[in-house]
Structure 1
């Protein structure tokens, strides 16, 4: 009762002073009360990078399997344990807008864009608290690089999408329509050019994994190559722009920087003990060894029967989730190609000792690095 009385008394005592006391509490976790110094801005930028990881059991890298590879000629999905989202996507069914996978992808990418826009809004209004103009500009360049990254994924997956350059509330977002693909690319290219001009070429050990000017050049080269593809759909990501020359110039800049070099051993590129090797232009840093904090990207590929025979945790139902490589892809390799063995699993013996004629990607799988279940692989892809 005493606490209630004190609260009610405070209302009467201070009610007439509303204007003077209408201040956000110092513990306010909202964006307007958070950005007070350089460390706060750095933490907010880190939050954008975190969108690439696993959030609420949604593994961002797995979206590339379901929305990229599943729609290519490289893999197919012979699932036999019920209809799953990737079956409809693989088969180009016109009902995929209702799938949970699509909703998750939309939510995660636009949430990341919201984080980037929040940082950019706060930099515009409050960058002086950082105390270092160069650092403030770097934060802006990182946020724009990341916004461009997510918008590039969106335009590849969905074509026309809404453009948000500032923070908007969920209610306001409902009134924003999809913008033409050309306009989405306009924002992407503008953001990446800003990033190229304002990101450092490299960082110290404490900031390893942040976007560099070379990462921005590599991303912009990919944008130009994608835009240059033949226009097969009026709202698709390929515009037939023939900008391959622009991409080549950017890629040559990366090569001629001498900051990167090809490895002699193909398997070393994906080796868990060789992270951040000389071929890598941009790689995110995740804390290792944290069981329960991994992802399930490798699980997207392996045959369930192989999982039950080779992993220490249940592999799932037979055929459920299998995404096998196509004969067309495998036959595009010369069988003496040294990349075949570290890239593909071709056939296996299941838990019953039966030979199974199946082929799938295994270059991202290191059984020794698997966690407590199939959703908990180390993130090294």
Structure 2
């Protein structure tokens, strides 16, 4: 079962001595005049490993919020795409505005996400600064030194991860590697994303040696070596992929293959380690998540959620917003199900692909908790099925919130990244690329993972372009609704065309099928979110500019 390692949020905030929630806002004098809530300071707090642990857990805690992976990033910021959309075509609520490409710089979700990540970065900067200064870091017992090195590595990884997410969402952003002090000049310009990616890759690479493999650590949601290496591979593919630049063009770096080489190296190391394998049952992965059972062999990086009373802090909407409709009062708890699967996408699964009925649920739950099949004419109300209420199987603590972890990285993703990297670097797929993607496909059809099977394996002889399209489709089938689809479409530079093609296909499927993303999307704009308007109220640096067309 899950082992929770979060600590009270108030203590975290005190320990990290945050002046404000965002990088820019400490320049506002009013935020610097708050009375301290505790006698703790950086000069007295990092006295032992327990206090260093508390500060490090404060860096993790940023992820366990509905402002990040409990709702906004996991769900709202990943749709509308070719596989999912937010229910309803108008702009009558905040999630719908964000999902349907109607977001503006004043939208509240933007500043909340921005603030959370910069708060996490500031916390990480403090841990990275303070732990090496602790006497125990060099003169403690072997166990103390190892523990502190691990925490330092975790802080480095998380700082890199948070910056990579800011870049993915907002492009070039202000960049700071020291903890915020009251005297700091925080009127900072935007830093080019490739400079930030260089530091992110450095942070993640330095973290690898001092973080244990999954088999060497306790059963909790702290990072494993495989998670660090896998996320480094993902970040490298984003760095080497397309992104919207300040000139309004989608561009990739000239040395993009260097980043694919990083991805190949890291995914190869993970595959050769023997630490991670595919669960033989695709369905069991998500039933385990619903029942709060950790599965580090496949689910490599999970964000921990838990609130004893079911309240909003440290809980998420996973399994209520992105689950089949469940009528209020049923034994399993309500699910409003605003996140909808695209029926035409569900039809693309091949006969015999066991993922289809796991990924997309075509029923709702009635007052007694019994499944009721949704009429074919209402198939636009089908929902993701990976976190359905009846799989959770318990009475809810809260009607909207759950303790289900958000899995950021699965081993299947590692295999698909390996296949993509090999295809790019070899100008077409080699045996390693085929092996990696075919293991994912064999599991999907219930076949032995390491035995060739002509019925389900990709046909040999595909060229580079065809194989990439196979990967793009396989990632949709395998990783749908897991928070990565829109980002993938952007880095491949096909988001706009994909949305427009999806709208055409939806209307051809059924003339009244609701879908507006293809109309609403603006190329050269919506590949990034706007910088929050609130930041311009406090940062007047001429190099702090808005994203194109906002």
TM-score category of the 2 structures, normalised to the smaller one: 0.7 to 0.9
Aligned to 1:121: 129
2:240 to 193, 213, 228: 228
Do the aligned partners of 1:66 and 1:86 also contact (CA within 8 Å) in 2?
Answer: no
Do the aligned partners of 1:45 and 1:139 also contact (CA within 8 Å) in 2?
Answer: yes
Do the aligned partners of 2:302 and 2:405 also contact (CA within 8 Å) in 1?
Answer: no
Paired residue secondary structure (1:281): strand
Paired residue secondary structure (1:324): strand
1:43 to 51, 54, 77: 54
| 1:45 CA drift (Å) | 0.7
Do the aligned partners of 2:156 and 2:207 also contact (CA within 8 Å) in 1?
Answer: yes
| 1:115 CA drift (Å) | 1.0
Aligned to 2:72: 63
CA distance in 2, matches of 1:202, 1:278: 8
CA distance in 1, matches of 2:195, 2:80: 25
Aligned to 1:212: 224
The answer to whether 1:256 aligns with 2:272 is yes
**Distance verdict in 2 for CA 1:346–1:148, change over 3 Å:** same
| 1:290 CA drift (Å) | 5.3
| 1:90 CA drift (Å) | 2.2
**Distance verdict in 2 for CA 1:307–1:101, change over 3 Å:** farther
Do the aligned partners of 1:364 and 1:380 also contact (CA within 8 Å) in 2?
Answer: no
Aligned to 2:187: 175
Aligned to 2:174: 162
Paired residue secondary structure (2:352): coil
Q: Which of 1 and 2 has higher RCO (CA within 8 Å, sep 6+)?
A: 2
CA distance in 2, matches of 1:324, 1:98: 26
**Distance verdict in 2 for CA 1:231–1:81, change over 3 Å:** closer
1:236-315 matched pairs, under 5 angstroms: 239-240=252-253, 241-242=256-257, 243-272=259-288, 273=291, 274-285=293-304, 291-292=310-311, 294-302=315-323, 306-308=326-328, 310=330
| 1:147 CA drift (Å) | 0.8
| 1:185 CA drift (Å) | 0.7
**Distance verdict in 2 for CA 1:378–1:143, change over 3 Å:** same
What TM-score, normalized to structure 2? 0.56
2:102 to 83, 93, 98: 93
1:35-71: CA deviation from partner (whole Å, max 9, x where unpaired):
11111101111111122213xx645332223454214
Aligned to 2:346: 330
For this pair of structures, how many residues does the alignment match? 347
CA distance in 2, matches of 1:246, 1:339: 30
**Distance verdict in 2 for CA 1:202–1:346, change over 3 Å:** closer
Do the aligned partners of 2:318 and 2:401 also contact (CA within 8 Å) in 1?
Answer: no
2:113 to 102, 105, 116: 105
CA distance in 2, matches of 1:160, 1:309: 47
Paired residue secondary structure (1:298): coil
Aligned to 2:6: none
**Distance verdict in 2 for CA 1:67–1:144, change over 3 Å:** farther
Do the aligned partners of 1:71 and 1:89 also contact (CA within 8 Å) in 2?
Answer: no
> Quick check: which has more Rg, 1 or 2?
1
| 1:81 CA drift (Å) | 8.5
| 1:168 CA drift (Å) | 1.3
Aligned to 2:396: 371
What TM-score, normalized to structure 1? 0.79
| 1:114 CA drift (Å) | 1.2
Aligned to 1:28: 39
Aligned to 2:533: none
After alignment, is 338-347 or 111-120 more displaced?
338-347
The answer to whether 1:150 aligns with 2:162 is yes
The answer to whether 1:187 aligns with 2:199 is yes
CA distance in 2, matches of 1:327, 1:238: 32
Aligned to 1:75: 84
Paired residue secondary structure (1:46): helix
Do the aligned partners of 1:299 and 1:375 also contact (CA within 8 Å) in 2?
Answer: yes
Q: What is the root-mean-square deviation of aligned Cα atoms in Å?
A: 3.2
**Distance verdict in 2 for CA 1:231–1:45, change over 3 Å:** closer
5+ residue gaps, structure 1: 1-24
| 1:371 CA drift (Å) | 2.3
Paired residue secondary structure (1:299): coil
The answer to whether 1:359 aligns with 2:367 is no
